[in-house]
Amino acid sequence: METIAVVDFETSGLSPNQGDRATEIAIALVRNGRIIDRYQSLMNAGVYISPFIEEYTGITNEMVRNAPKAEKVMREAASFVGSHPLVAHNASFDRNFWDSELVRVGKRRRQQFVCSMLLARRVFPKATNHKLGTLVDYLRLPVAGRFHRAMADAEMAASLMMSIEKELIRRFKLSTVSHGLCFAIQNSPKAGLSHCVARYRSD
């Protein structure tokens, strides 16, 4: 697979459309079955973090108060990612915050996001559920740190993507797995994995 950028946000809430902002971002660059580079930073977006979110993520108002401004962090993050394809676990969540925070610094996303959760539902349908923690246990992936901190989650989502790639190569005797194939798989019916791979291979 080409170099991919696995992104994870921690946030003050569920939706930027409701005024929620990013409080932490981490990015793991993955190539040839290993993480080759990392970026991580807390983000001060000037928002209040509720006690529930502080407990959930371990990120406190004091930590964010002393962090770099969100705009500076997003410019650095966008530069770090460059033109690499994007991946996140439950990507609709991270995509919304990525797009919202980018707009605030006058930038727009050009790459497609691939969702490792949607891929796992198709490639590993027997897992109890497809939350990141469940899949880490199911596939016996290394636990990179505390769940719901951005760098640990990004690294574990990167490990999951590498497992998905290996499984697709093994099952379908592929020479490589492209971001484009992953995007096609996530948008195919859950029961249509074999047909999707066959169709993509013949295109």
CA 15 to chain centre: 16
Total of domains in the chain: 1
Q: What is the CATH number of the domain that holds 46?
A: 3.30.420.10
The vertex-7 CA angle with 147 and 178, nearest 5°, equals 120
49-54 long-range Cβ contacts below 8 angstroms, 24+ apart = 49/12, 49/23, 50/12, 50/13, 53/11, 53/12, 53/13, 53/23
Check: CB of residue 7 under 8 Å from CB of residue 87: yes
Residue 202: its pLDDT value, please? 66
How far apart are alpha carbons 76 and 98 in whole angstroms? 13
Residue 166 Cα distances to 10, 32, 136, 199, angstroms: 28, 11, 15, 19
- The confidence band for 147, taking pLDDT boundaries of 50, 70 and 90, is very high
How far apart are alpha carbons 6 and 179 in whole angstroms? 12
Whether 24 has a pLDDT exceeding 70, the answer reads yes
Q: What average pLDDT does the segment 66-71 reach?
A: 97
How far apart are alpha carbons 36 and 32 in whole angstroms? 9
How far apart are alpha carbons 81 and 23 in whole angstroms? 18
The vertex-195 CA angle with 138 and 154, nearest 5°, equals 35
Check: CB of residue 6 under 8 Å from CB of residue 154: yes
Domain residues for the domain of 153 are 4-202
pTM of the model: 0.95
For residue range 97-135, list pLDDT tens digits in order.
999 999 999 999 999 999 999 999 999 999 999 999 999
- The confidence band for 201, taking pLDDT boundaries of 50, 70 and 90, is confident
For residue range 150-185, list pLDDT tens digits in order.
999 999 999 999 999 999 999 999 999 999 999 999
Decide which of 199 and 49 is more confident: 49
Amino acid (one-letter) located at 184: A
Whether 1 has a pLDDT exceeding 80, the answer reads no
Q: At what angle do helices 150-172 and 193-202 cross, to 10 degrees?
A: 70
